[in-house]
Amino acid sequence: MSALKGKGKEYLTVKDLQKVLDSCKLQLNQIDEVWPNIYIGNVAVAQNKAALLKLDDSTHFDLDVYFQPAADFIHKALKSPDGKVLVHCIMGMSRSSTLVLAYLMIYCHLPLKRALQKLIQKRAIYPNRNFLALLLDLDLQLTRKKRTCQIL
């Protein structure tokens, strides 16, 4: 694993995460249950193509501002009786999977690499490089927060 060294800790890179994603052998479906009661699908499933086409999966889109609100929404929905959530985007590969990964990291306390490994067992996903970098930042923030909380 190519990783940056820092105080005895190995840090993941976007390239490391892309290798994990490349190991996925699943075919892309219109919808998949990727976590209990959490589904990732494409626009055909969501049936709101006109609104979603306005969203561009730009390599510069700051999706990270939606990590916490999306994670909160998913968490709240799953806590309701018979709660299920469909997270969708046009292809169901990048934007939607990034938000589900953020949820798994924030609420299920999974490190990014483990969350990726879990999802690619259920669905062919491929967050773009920008989204992977944003998730790496989130992973680092959550690791620091966890370490800080353990010290206090």
CB-based burial label for 87 (10 Å; 0-12, 13-18, 19+): buried
Which SS3 state, helix, strand or coil, does residue 39 take?
Answer: strand
Q: Count CB-CB contacts under 10 A for residue 49.
A: 11
Catalytic residue among 24, 89, 108, 149: 89
Owner of token pair 């018979």: 82
Catalytic, 89? Answer yes
The rounded distance, in Å, linking the Cα atoms of 113 and 43 is 26
CB–CB of 87/39 below 8 Å? yes
Tokens of 12: 């993941």
Q: Count CB-CB contacts under 10 A for residue 54.
A: 6
Query: Catalytic site residues?
Result: 89
